[in-house]
Structure 1
Amino acid sequence: MDEKKMLERIKKSAEPIDVPESLKPEFMEDILKEKEQKRRKIPLYRAGAAAAAALIALVALWQINHIGMQQEDRPQMEGSTEAAGYTEAAGLEEYVKETGAPEKTDAAADGAGVIPHVSSEEELYLALADMNQAMSRDMGYGALTGDMMKEEGAVPMDSAPAEDAESSMESTAANNGDYSQTNLQEVGVDEGDIVKTDGNYIYALYGSTVRIIKAEGENLEKISEISLPEKDEEVHEMYLDGNVLNLIATGNEASIDEQEEDVYFIDRKSYTRVYTYDIHEKETPKLSGYTEQEGYYKTSRKNGDMLYVFTEYTPIIKDTQESSTIMPRVSGGVMPLEDIYLPEYADQAGYLVIASVDVKQPEKVVDHKAIVSAADRFYVSTENIYGISSHYENGRDYTQILKFSYRDGKIKPAAAGDIRGYLNDTFSMNEHEGYLRVVATDWNNDEELTNLYVLDENLDVYGKIENLAPGESIRSARFLGDIGYFVTFRDTDPLFSVDLSSPKEPKILGELKVTGFSAYLHFYGENKLLGIGNEVDPETGEYKGIKVSMFDISDPSDVKEIDKYVLKDNYHCPGIYNYKAIMINPEKNIFGFECEENYLVFSYDGEKGFVNEFLYELKDKEEFEVYGNGTRGLYIGQTFYLSGSNGIEAFDMERGFEKTGGLTYE
């Protein structure tokens, strides 16, 4: 999405709020442009995201009268490890000497040799207070107390991404029925979404209400619906596994604290709950139990019966340790000190909290860990969890990576690492045979460069290729076994293929230049790679529309673009930023996505190229959310369904997607 459309969406979302003139989007746009001229150049899509994050954070800050502060996209902090130029152990020693921060002690448990445990609550408080003071000095405020801080996401933003690994050429499911499933990043690791199906029923989540719809071809019948016990909670997504339905919701609690006579402050906290429902009887779903952990919801993953939930917890830091609240709570109990870690590079007073829940014992948290250092995005393989955060230091971008091993609900810190450059999304990472492969966009001497790293199990650089594609940035990546593909972009789209069979010595195999760029890649059957992105005029740099490309990868050293399809003057497709909004099954030869005010379904023919099987106009149809991530396409057998906030419509794929039925929610 370009900056103009991003700002238009922000402006619309802020309409119900009486915001001061100085914080309105049109004023903020000018301010951000002025500031941007004084900073380094960054790609347009990053600038737009930064503008959105900054504006939303400022509006929220004004609205709640300094109850909270957005911590994402943080500036450089005086006295932090970034300001001290810390990248190695020697840098840490210098930082400790300059700031007086407490030195880390030896840890006693597994994983703590790399990510140290906290030795005492006093050490934890002092470290948090130092980070808090550093942040407040840089932001121009007095000391930030818990009254001025909020959980990240109190003003929700769409997440991507991405989060953003090894391709799911076909999604996982409880059985192999002919029905669509959530588009996953990693085979064997399930992800939540707002629409699910088991081949007989459709489960649609809109507005914190789940509707269970019996789907028999064109016949659609609402069987029941689920609303949470707490009416003010927001449901983000759900998981479906047989007759178990998990809903992930967030809520907020606030209390007033009298600091001195007639002076009151508001302490606000966010929590995340996993609600588990027994849906054996679809007419009467039953709540089996729930778990709760402090912090605003970031994302989650499911492997087998274990659901792993990631939240960001903001401690309440006051003038004394006794008056502060710095220990997160999980399932009503304070986390023990031995489950809290303090990395040497930590520079912001926010925690990443990871908890695991066995859906067969829905009121029990199996394990939990907290680490002082919030992560922005997550990549989860079948063996490990990777938390990713970015920072800008001494004129360069760095990506910090936290690694946790997990099995049967048990979570163990494993390693921490740091690479140059920033990641486009989590598809820029992939784990294979114990190695983590990462592609990142670096910035040096006012020029963007591409780096590829192969990290070993300790997240040390084992192999690398640096300084690729000068002046271009990463736009997409995908890995399959020993071969990786990534797209960089400036005026044309170089699609690189890389041989990773020797982790010590990765080698570039080929480079294909085509117009535009692919923002999302998906392996499409044997020897083919599908790309969805933007067409761009190579002479002027002008965006021409959405582009769908098919690449022949039978010879990775000589990749060819064999077909393309351009949706002229179309620019906004939620699936580019949220891959779960793409419906795709290469074996069935079908993929679909929302674009602007339409939903489109394609197939691919070796002779005809891309075939547009279905185009449905969403404009002026209240049942679908235009410009949102709320429209989902799915199929059961030969019936295709479009699910929106106000209903579901059915189409017969064997009769040219003829509309055959529908259901409107009351």
Structure 2
Amino acid sequence: MKNKWIAIMVIAILAILPGIITLTMTPTVVAKAASVSMATKSWQATFTKALKESKITEETVYVTNSKDQKVEAAITLGEDKKTLIVSDLAPGNYKLHVQKDAFVLGGSKASSQVISFTIIEKLEAVKSERELQQYFDTLLANPDKEVKYDSSREMESKADSPSVSSNSSMTNNQVEGVEEGDLVVVKDGFIYSVKEHSITVVDATNPKNLALAATLKIEDSKYISKLALYDHLLIAIGDKYLEKAGTSMSTATLYDISNPKSPKFLREVGQEGYLQDIRITNDTLYLIGNMFPNYWALRDNKTIDLKPKTYDSRGTKEFQSLPLEKISILPNTLDGTYSLITALDLKNGAKATANTKGYLGGSSGLYMSEDALYLTTPVYDGSAAVPAENRIMDMRIWMPRATNTQIFKWNVDGTTMNFVGNTEVKGTVLNQYSMDEYKGNFRVVTTEGNTWDEKNISRNHLFILDKNLKELGTVQDLAPGEKVYSARFMGEKAYVVTFKQVDPLFVIDVANPKKPTVLGELKIPGFSNYLHPLDETHLIGIGYDTEQRYDAFSKRNFTVTTNMKMSLFDVSDFKNPKEQSSVKIGGKGSYSDVQYNPKALFRNKEYNYFGFPVVLYEAGKGDEIVFKGQGAQIYEITADKGIVLKGNIIEESTDEPYENWDQLVQRVVYIGDALYTVAHKEVKSYQLKDFQPLDKLIIK
């Protein structure tokens, strides 16, 4: 009876676990392999069972061509003993044959495998509906396919990008000349901001008399995530759910704001799926997203359209399936998600036709320079099943872990996008700031493993790749047992913050791409979520302070975050970086959007100001935290004076237990000699020089 109840409980638990769990009832062999690979790369197939190296011979493991003739190929066994790596093949269609005797299990416990794949010289479009369906049929037949997650959602390293106005705030973009958009944008004395299902336009030409100039109502089915400016265009980026079609669209809606008090709708373009991000460079808007088709319907022999839909209000105003000639299968991927890229020429009022391309192979991270787009996606290792603590009927729980990162590159020239190639690096990428392009080379910082895994400790790496994504140089096994919390590239130097119990700031010389070298290291309590260049030899770090505590149950020390912390790092002596200045912000529980979204950073060069929205808490009794106030803080930061608080624009709490959403500051901007805090339902103005209040506008 006891075993019966254990069985029922385990099955119940498994039933509520996410869809990434697979139950393996028998020791049969399953293969995982991409259908397409570039001729410049090796193709590989990974099996759920190990192979015998001594049994990998011409008789047991071989490759045949489209005429079923054996061909010469270099076949090697990977370090995991489960992966066969095939190389030295000319473009064409092939099959890998693996006899059952090649597996360690052998006999009746194994089965022979035949896997079809194609080697291509350059990325080509899908040629037929049948070819597209075969791709999805392969996924359905492969229960151990790659699993992809949407990560939250990354310089020539100059902190500022060209502004639409020389005397007003600009978006804190990563790369000069590449606009990223934000919740609030400023142009010609007007503030444009996202407000639920509307866009508000505030006339701030007279900071002592703020006025609501216009409100652009957005349909309830649409969610606006960011705004961007180009010449006289306001571009609203969002997601729209189409109830009748049962799908979502990522959209870019363009308005003519030649008259800010009366914006005029010009055009809307959209692509099916969910938005990843946007970029604007060289007069072109790039809308980048993911779309996951319901290919499971093929199991029921249903005839379905597996192509993504697009929309353009300047066309037929109907959703169109993307033509096959616009769809390609990314090499070395086995994933049912499309990466979609729409490029729109913004010149002449964005009247040109939008160019949308779909690539089978999803993505979760991106970096873009003026000339190239890089998309990244984690590679999950699900080949090893983890035994349940009390296994019943030989059930195993499959918990895939992100181990490596695939990188895909396109050269871009306006609306023309040419695929360059792909590669794979060890570890996973934190965000866009862990990536960078410099003099044609791509640099990326990754973390391999997990900090909680004491058997296989985490490690951090830096890779430098050439214009064709071939490895030039690396720094590997940095800070064992820790993970990357922030990174920033500044020309010929890279700065990496790792953390587990203390915050090591590493200074890495990347001037010689073939031999990157760690120059220095600084260890201090806490960690920085975001690094921002002050000048060539100083960095601003924004994050948390930490403290050590002891857990009597586990008899181990552990680390907890306390107050916010901002540091000024002096790296003029690259071998001996120093924390020149630091400030503690609030108490335990205090936070700012800037820690996770650098767009929230306010900058003003004239006054050397840096600021951000902030919500202040402090420690109460036990683990309780007490709300103290909300607003914004402005600091003067210079190499000479360090960090000095100049504006404490905080509305202190009286009886409220937590922050007021209506008054929660989203962004801080400036126009001329005035500073503005933009909240969800109010805008306040202040004198920039001394932060004396000027006016307040309530937005209903």
In the alignment, the residues of structure 2 paired with residue 87 and residue 235 of structure 1 have an alpha-carbon distance, to the nearest angstrom, of: 46
Select 1:453's aligned residue among 463, 471, 480: 463
Shift, 1:425, TM fit: 1.3
SS state of the match for residue 534, structure 1?
strand
Work out whether 1:609 is the aligned partner of 2:606: no
The one of 310, 313, 326 aligned to 2:288? 310
Kept in 2: contact 1:122–1:321 (CA 8 A) = no
Would the alpha carbon gap of residues 76 and 550 (structure 1) be closer, same or farther in structure 2, given more than 3 Å must change? Answer: farther
Q: Does 1:488 align with 2:502?
A: no
Summarize deviations over 1:511-558 as a string: whole Å, max 9, x none: 121221111001113421100111123675232221111011223222
For residues 91 and 662 of structure 1, do their structure 2 counterparts lie closer, same or farther at Cα, with a shift above 3 Å needed? farther
Deviation string 1:3-28 (CA, Å, 9 cap, x unpaired) is xxxxxxxxxxxxxxxxxxxxxxxxxx
Distance 1:252 1:165, change over 3 A: same
Relative distance call for 1:413 and 1:87 in structure 2 (3 A) is farther
TM-score normalised to structure 2 length: 0.74
1:188 corresponding residue in structure 2: 177
In structure 2, the partner of 1:268 is 246
Contact 1:291 1:365 in 2 (8 A): no
C-alpha distance in structure 2 between counterparts of 1:192 and 1:530, whole Å:
22
User: CA shift at 1:138, angstroms?
Assistant: 10
Q: Distance in 2 between matches of 1:74 and 1:379?
A: 31
Paired residue for 2:428?
A: 422
Give the Cα–Cα distance (whole angstroms) in 1 for the partners of residues 354 and 85 of structure 2: 35
Q: Does the 8 Å contact 2:233/2:349 carry over to 1?
A: no
SS of corresponding position for 2:350: coil
Alpha-carbon distance in structure 1 between the residues aligned to 2:687 and 2:23: 56
Q: Indicate the SS of the match to 1:557.
A: coil
CA contact (8 A) 1:105 1:119 kept: no
Report the CA distance shift for 1:233/1:91 in structure 2 as closer, same or farther (over 3 A). farther
TM superposition shift of 1:105:
5.5
Residue 512 of structure 2 corresponds to 502
1:398 Cα deviation (Å)?
Answer: 0.2
Say whether the 8 Å CA contact 2:146–2:379 is kept in structure 1. Answer: no
Tell me the alpha carbon deviations over residues 245-286 of structure 1, each in whole angstroms, 9 at most, x when there is no partner.
11122212245xxxxxxxxxxx72211221111111222211
Residue 673 of structure 2 corresponds to residue 638 of structure 1: yes
How far apart in 2 are the matches of 1:607 and 1:405?
42
Structure-to-structure mapping, 1:509-524, within 5 angstroms: 509-524=519-534
Matched, 1:529 2:539: yes
**Larger RCO: 1 or 2 (CA < 8 Å, sep 6+):** 1
Pick aligned residue for 1:549 from 548, 558, 567: 567
Residue 130 of structure 1: SS of its match in structure 2? Answer: helix
Q: TM-score, normalised by structure 1?
A: 0.77
Q: Return the match for 2:214 from 201, 216, 224.
A: 224
Which of 206, 209, 228 in structure 1 is aligned with 2:195?
206
Q: Whole-Å Cα distance in 2 between the matches of residues 290 and 358 of structure 1?
A: 13
- CA deviation vs aligned residue, 1:355-393 (integer Å, no higher than 9, x gap): 101223535444222111111111111111111111232
The 8 Å contact of residues 241 and 247 in structure 2, kept in 1 or not, is answered as yes
1:133–1:543 Cα change, 3 Å: same
When the two structures are aligned, how many residues end up with a matched partner? 561
Return the alpha-carbon distance in structure 2 between the equivalents of residues 651 and 577 of structure 1.
26
Alpha-carbon separation, structure 1, partners of 2:438 and 2:146: 41
CA contact (8 A) 2:487 2:497 kept: yes
Change (3 A) 1:99 1:617: farther
From 581, 585, 589, the counterpart of 1:563: 581
Partner of 2:615: 596
C-alpha contact (below 8 Å) 1:311/1:354 kept by paired residues: yes
Corresponding residue for residue 49 of structure 1: none
**2:616 matches 1:583:** no
For 1:640-659, list aligned pairs within 5 A: 640-654=675-689, 656-659=690-693
Map 1:62-211 onto structure 2 (within 5 A). Answer: 79-81=31-33, 84=47, 88-89=85-86, 102-104=116-118, 106=120, 111-112=122-123, 117-134=125-142, 159-160=152-153, 164-175=154-165, 177-211=166-200
CA distance, structure 2, for counterparts of residue 137 and residue 86 of structure 1: 14
Which residue does the alignment assign to 1:245? 234
Deviation of 1:199 after TM superposition, in Å, equals 4.2
Deviations 1:27-76 (Å, cap 9, x if unpaired)?
A: xxxx9xx99xxxxxxxxxxxxxxxxxx99x97xxxxxxxxxx8xxx8999
1:473 aligns with 2:463: no
Q: Does 1:431 align with 2:434?
A: no
Aligned to 2:622: none
For the 8 Å contact 1:448–1:472, the answer to whether it is kept is yes
Partners of 1:357 and 1:528 in 2: how far apart?
A: 38
1:284 aligns with 2:228: no
Task: Return the offset for 1:503.
Answer: 0.8
Q: Secondary structure at the match of 2:290?
A: strand
SS of residue paired to 2:599: helix
Residues 295, 312 of structure 1: 8 Å contact kept: yes
**Would you say the 8 A contact 1:76–1:83 is kept in 2?**
no
Task: Give the secondary-structure state (helix, strand or coil) at the position aligned to 2:446.
Answer: strand
Decide whether the 8 Å contact of 1:624 with 1:643 is kept in 2.
no
Helix, strand or coil: the match of 2:433? helix
Residues 343, 490 of structure 1: alpha-carbon distance in 2 compared, 3 angstrom cutoff: same
SS at match of 1:80: strand
Q: Which has the higher strand share?
A: 2
- 8 Å CA contact 1:623, 1:664 repeated in 2: no
Q: Which amino acid aligns with 1:314?
A: F
Letter in 2 for 1:594: P
- Maintained 8 Å contact 1:422/1:441: yes
Report the 3-state secondary structure (helix = DSSP H, G, I; strand = E; otherwise coil) of the residue aligned with 2:117: coil
The aligned counterpart of 1:388 is 376
Q: CA RMSD in A?
A: 3.3
Structure 1: where are the runs of 5+ without partners? 1-30, 36-53, 59-68, 140-150, 256-266
Aligned ranges for residues 316-327 of structure 1 at < 5 Å?
316-317=294-295, 318-319=297-298, 323-327=303-307
What is the alpha-carbon distance in structure 2 between the residues aligned to residue 573 and residue 549 of structure 1?
15
Percentage identity across aligned positions?
26
Matched ranges for 1:399-414 at <5 A: 399-414=405-420
2:699 is the counterpart of 1:665: yes
Distance in 1 between residues matched to 2:523 and 2:471, nearest whole Å: 29
Letter in 1 for 2:486: S
- Distance in structure 1 (CA, Å) of the matches to 2:471 and 2:275: 31
Q: Deviations over 1:139-186 (max 9, x none)?
A: 9xxxxxxxxxxx998xxx9x44xxx244342232134x2211111111
Q: Residue 147 of structure 1 aligns with which residue?
A: none
2 CA distance for matches of 1:199 and 1:555?
Answer: 42
Which structure has the larger Rg? 2
Q: How does 1:20-31 map to 2 (within 5 A)?
A: none
Work out the CA distance in 1 between the residues paired with 2:262 and 2:684: 24
Does the C-alpha gap of structure 1 residues 511 and 505 become closer, same or farther in structure 2, counting only changes over 3 Å? Answer: same
Mark the runs of 5 or more structure 2 residues left unpaired by the alignment.
Answer: 1-9, 25-29, 34-44, 48-81, 99-111, 312-318, 384-400, 550-556, 617-629
